[in-house]
């Protein structure tokens, strides 16, 4: 949601400085006064308080809404649909130890949510896991992971990193770490924002899948950038728009972004778009969909 109020409070000291400049006599020998540290600090505190108040208001809104995709059965269904697109399986729990380079420019893709060595999320996962388990088998690769972050390089990772990942994934602690990282950085933010946008269970899944695939970037090809582009085309239900019309716009924009990367778009064309065209906004089972030409069914 847009937070114009926060930006206004942050900008107050800057505006005051500009006004003082234009009102000062041209031949004045006095140096232009700068906003005091206390004034700048007060503005930051006011902005923080405003943000916290808005978050509290959002929490109240969400608390009054149905669980949607966060309901245990729906969350399980979401992981199965994502797994069908990531690794052509419905058994998402079999993916903790998966790791391969899909040659998509993101380096190694691994684990239950497709964490990538080139998109920071895998690095963040290993860093967080290492804080709690310093002697884990992946810790020694942290310098290399920091070096390759943002690239598709394997420098410093080959030949042992893939074996180390698979070995660590056998441990319950690392499996829990993957679950928590997925929820904290993908599932929970996506579901929360979708609910605030007035979207039902299907829309919440659409956001979740997009956030996992595109990452939390605000750039034009990141999830938040795609959403901003969709908002310029259609109103969300929270803004008075139609849910199907908005999701159609979002999926159109996302599909174009994926096609630009020469990425298969069947996770949209024959899965999410199919659910939407069927009017299944609550993502009710039974479900049938296809990804990469393979058909999946959940009774």
Q: If you search the block for the tokens 């497709």, which residue do you land on?
A: 114
**Distance, C-alpha 188 to centroid of its chain:** 9
131 to each of 125, 127, 128, 185, 285, how far by Cα in Å?
A: 10, 6, 5, 17, 40
Are 269 and 255 in contact by the 8 Å Cβ rule? The answer is: yes
150 to each of 164, 184, 290, how far by Cα in Å?
A: 21, 21, 31
Digit-by-digit pLDDT tens for the chain (299 residues) are: 322 332 322 333 333 333 333 334 444 455 555 556 677 777 777 777 777 788 889 999 899 999 999 999 999 999 999 999 989 999 999 999 999 999 989 999 999 999 999 999 999 999 999 999 999 999 999 999 999 999 999 999 999 999 999 999 999 999 999 999 999 999 999 999 999 999 999 999 999 999 999 999 888 889 999 999 999 999 999 999 999 999 999 999 999 999 998 789 999 999 999 999 999 999 999 999 999 999 999 99
| Whole-number pLDDT of residue 37 | 66
| Whole-number pLDDT of residue 163 | 98
Whole-angstrom Cα distance, residue 31 to residue 24? 10
Q: Which helix (H) or strand (E) holds 116?
A: strand 115-116
CA quadruple 132, 137, 138, 140: dihedral sign: positive
């Amino acid at each position: 949601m847009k937070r114009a109020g926060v930006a206004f409070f942050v900008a107050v000291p800057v505006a005051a400085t500009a006004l003082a400049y234009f009102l000062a006599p041209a031949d004045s020998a006095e140096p232009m006064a700068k906003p005091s540290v206390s004034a700048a600090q007060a503005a930051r505190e006011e902005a923080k308080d405003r943000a916290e108040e808005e978050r509290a208001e959002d929490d109240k809104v969400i608390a009054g809404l149905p669980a949607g995709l966060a309901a245990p059965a729906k969350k399980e269904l979401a992981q199965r649909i994502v797994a069908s697109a990531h690794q052509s399986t419905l058994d998402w729990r079999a993916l903790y130890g998966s790791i391969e380079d899909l040659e998509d420019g993101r380096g190694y893709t691994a684990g239950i949510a497709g964490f990538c060595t080139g998109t920071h999320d895998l690095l963040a996962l290993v860093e967080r896991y290492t804080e709690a388990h310093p002697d884990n088998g992946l810790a020694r690769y942290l310098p290399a992971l920091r070096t390759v972050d943002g690239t598709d390089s394997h420098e410093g990772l080959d030949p042992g990193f893939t074996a180390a990942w698979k070995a660590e994934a056998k441990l319950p602690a690392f499996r829990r770490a993957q679950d928590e990282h997925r929820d904290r950085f993908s599932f929970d933010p996506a579901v929360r924002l979708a609910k605030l946008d007035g979207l039902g269970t299907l829309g919440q899944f659409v956001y979740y899948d997009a956030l996992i695939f595109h990452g939390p970037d605000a750039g034009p090809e990141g999830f938040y950038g795609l959403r901003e582009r969709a908002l310029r085309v259609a109103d969300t239900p929270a803004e008075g728009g139609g849910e199907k019309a908005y999701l159609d716009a979002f999926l159109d924009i996302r599909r174009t972004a994926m096609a630009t990367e020469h990425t298969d778009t069947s996770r949209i064309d024959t899965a999410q778009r199919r659910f939407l065209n069927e009017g299944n906004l609550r993502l009710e089972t039974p479900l049938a969909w296809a990804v990469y030409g393979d058909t999946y069914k959940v009774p």
